[in-house]
């Protein structure tokens, strides 16, 4: 049996065990405890002093952000189509209407030109969108200079879904901090993990107080249980936060290892025609959460499915890029503005194994299998 190579696994080689034990010994395993505030403090340091509320998932952080923006039934929210469904599902939780926007080919994220066209068209149709959800896919920052100009021009706030982009930045400005709200995910496969978890960040102190209040069932600070509005059970627990604290203290190491895996692939693919990838624009820094490549169908004659199956036969896990949301059955009635970019990326893109502990020998093995399939074609 060939050694299996997973797409992306977490690595716990810091203080995870000792912090976990401390959380258990202190009997603080729920939504009170020191690791929660310590973890929030570390995220704050990494995001230039933004206020932080840790949550039980990235999805719940997006839900809170939209709720704080006052999104409700009938409102329209613009959202990048090329992303995981969690970017858009909270729009539906609030009874609002998503409107999907295509990506552009240099960052794979929301296309500023199409975004502006969409805003103008929605305005013409009589409704002003209430928010824009922008994603930093696979750790690559979106074109925030252009996006924020549009956001300011039309006075529509941005939520930055940086679920995959903790530690990424543009000109040193951290991803997560480019919009009015930012979110991170610490799900099991992200660059750092708390098992499941997330964070909401913002510069707005009052809003963040309210986020924390809403995330504990909107419980009033009172002598008995008192609730004046509907909240959520969304706060992170102290056990998860302990793991998260240990993980984030190692974030720089994790990023440099992930970037190294990407660089290795790039070098190994250097002389191969038809294989390309997404590069950092001037001033952009990607955490390279997953190493993603495009295998041009017209140049190689090879489909992503053939490649995926060839690697799977050798016990190597790969994955398609995100299937654009405008192609998902669940969103079939959602308006979409675009020009085929994300569809092309989906049909030719592949995520290769990217764990921080992936060995160079395994990377060579993966690329050799791909090369052999290309030669056979
Ligand atoms: C993982 C992810 C989320 C959701 O995070 P969860 O913690 O799994 O709820 C949201 N958006 C993107 C782009 C993601 O990759």
Q: What was the pLDDT predicted at 35?
A: 98
Q: Give the model confidence (pLDDT) of 84-121 as tens digits.
A: 999 999 999 999 999 999 999 999 999 999 999 999 99
Q: For residues 264-278, give the mean pLDDT.
A: 95
In the structure, what pLDDT confidence band is assigned to residue 329 with cuts at 50, 70 and 90?
A: very high
**Is the Cβ atom of 349 under 6 angstroms away from ligand 1?**
no
User: Measured in angstroms, how far is the CA atom of residue 229 from the centroid of ligand 1?
Assistant: 27
At 244 the three-state DSSP class reads helix
| Position 150 pLDDT exceeds 90 | yes
Of the options 2.30.290.10, 3.90.1150.10, 3.40.50.2300, 3.20.20.70, the CATH number for the domain spanning 252-376:
3.90.1150.10
Encoded tokens for 30:
């729920």
State the Cα angle at 178 between 263 and 160, rounded to 5°: 80
Tens of pLDDT, residues 161-217: 999 999 999 999 999 999 999 999 999 999 999 999 999 999 999 999 999 999 999
Category of 117 on φ-ψ map: left (φ > 0), alpha (ψ -120 to 50) or beta: alpha
Using most ligand atoms within 8 A of CB, pick from 185, 188, 319, 320 the residue to mutate for ligand 1. Answer: 185
User: Residue 337 has what pLDDT?
Assistant: 98
Assessment of whether the complete model's pTM goes beyond 0.85: yes
Ligand 1 near 109 CB (within 6 A): no
pLDDT of residue 3: 86
> Percent of the chain beyond pLDDT 70?
100
Does ligand 1 lie within 6 Å of residue 240's CB atom? no
Q: What was the pLDDT predicted at 1?
A: 64
Residue 309 confidence class, pLDDT cut points 50, 70, 90:
very high
CA atoms within 13 A on the CB side of 122: 27
Mean pLDDT in residue range 148-172: 98
185 C-alpha to ligand 1 centroid (Å): 5
Q: Where in the chain are all domains bearing CATH 3.40.640.10?
A: 16-250
Q: 376 pLDDT exceeds 90?
A: no
pLDDT of 228-245, one tens digit each? 999 999 999 999 999 999
Where in the sequence of the chain do the CATH 3.90.1150.10 domains occur? 252-376
Mean pLDDT, residues 317-323: 98
Q: What's the confidence (pLDDT) of residue 235?
A: 98
Answer whether residue 301 shows pLDDT above 80: yes
Say what percent of the chain tops pLDDT 90.
96
Residue-by-residue DSSP string for 206-229: HHHHHHHHHTBTTB-SSSS--BSS
Q: Which CATH class is domain 16-250?
A: alpha beta
Rounded distance between C-alpha atoms, residue 242 and residue 56, angstroms: 13
> Over the stretch 54-92, which tens digit does the pLDDT of each residue have?
999 999 999 999 999 999 999 999 999 999 999 999 999
| Residue 374: predicted pLDDT | 86
Assess whether the C-beta atom of 57 lies below 6 angstroms from ligand 1.
Answer: yes
Among 6-10, 28-32, 216-220, 266-270, the range scoring the smallest mean pLDDT is 28-32
Q: 276: helix, coil or strand?
A: strand
What is the average pLDDT value for the chain, to the nearest integer? Answer: 97
Q: What is the pLDDT of residue 48?
A: 95
Q: CA–CA separation, 179 vs 169, rounded Å? A: 13
Task: Determine whether the shortest distance from the Cβ of 289 to ligand 1 is under 6 A.
Answer: no
56 CB near ligand 1 (under 6 Å):
no
Q: What angle do CA 278, 284, 286 make, to 5 degrees?
A: 60
């Amino acid at each position: 049996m060939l050694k299996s190579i997973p797409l992306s696994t977490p690595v716990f080689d810091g203080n995870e065990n000792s912090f976990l034990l401390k959380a258990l010994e202190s009997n603080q395993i729920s939504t009170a405890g020191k690791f929660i505030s310590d973890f929030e403090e570390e995220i704050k340091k990494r995001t230039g002093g933004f206020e932080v509320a840790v949550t039980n998932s990235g999805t719940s952080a997006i839900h809170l952000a939209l709720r704080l923006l006052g999104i409700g039934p009938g409102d329209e929210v613009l959202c990048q189509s090329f992303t995981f469904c969690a970017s858009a599902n909270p729009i539906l939780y609030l009874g609002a209407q998503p409107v999907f926007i295509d990506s552009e080919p240099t960052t794979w994220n929301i296309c500023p030109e199409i975004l502006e066209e969409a805003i103008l068209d929605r305005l013409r149709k009589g409704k002003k969108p209430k928010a824009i959800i922008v994603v930093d896919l696979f750790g690559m920052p979106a074109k925030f200079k252009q996006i924020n100009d549009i956001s300011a021009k039309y006075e529509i706030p941005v939520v930055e879904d940086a679920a995959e982009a903790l530690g990424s930045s543009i000109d040193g400005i951290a991803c997560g901090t480019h919009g009015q709200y930012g979110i991170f995910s610490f799900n099991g496969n992200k660059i750092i993990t708390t098992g499941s978890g997330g964070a909401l960040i913002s510069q707005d102190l009052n809003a963040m107080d309210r986020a924390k209040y809403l995330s504990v069932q909107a419980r009033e600070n009172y002598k008995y249980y008192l609730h004046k509005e509907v909240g959520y059970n969304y706060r992170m627990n102290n056990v998860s936060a302990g793991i998260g604290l240990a993980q984030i203290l190692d974030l720089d190491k994790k990023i440099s290892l992930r970037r190294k895996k990407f660089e290795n692939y790039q070098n190994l693919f250097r002389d191969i025609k038809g294989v390309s990838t997404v590069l950092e624009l001037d001033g952009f820094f990607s955490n390279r959460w997953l190493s993603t490549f495009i295998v041009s169908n017209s140049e190689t004659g090879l489909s992503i499915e053939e490649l995926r199956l060839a690697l799977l036969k050798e016990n190597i896990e790969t994955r398609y890029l995100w299937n654009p949301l405008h192609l998902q059955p669940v969103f079939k009635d959602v308006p979409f503005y675009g020009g085929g970019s994300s569809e092309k990326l989906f049909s030719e893109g592949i995520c290769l194994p990217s764990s921080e502990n992936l060995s160079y020998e395994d990377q060579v093995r993966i690329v050799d299998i791909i090369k052999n399939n290309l030669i056979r074609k």
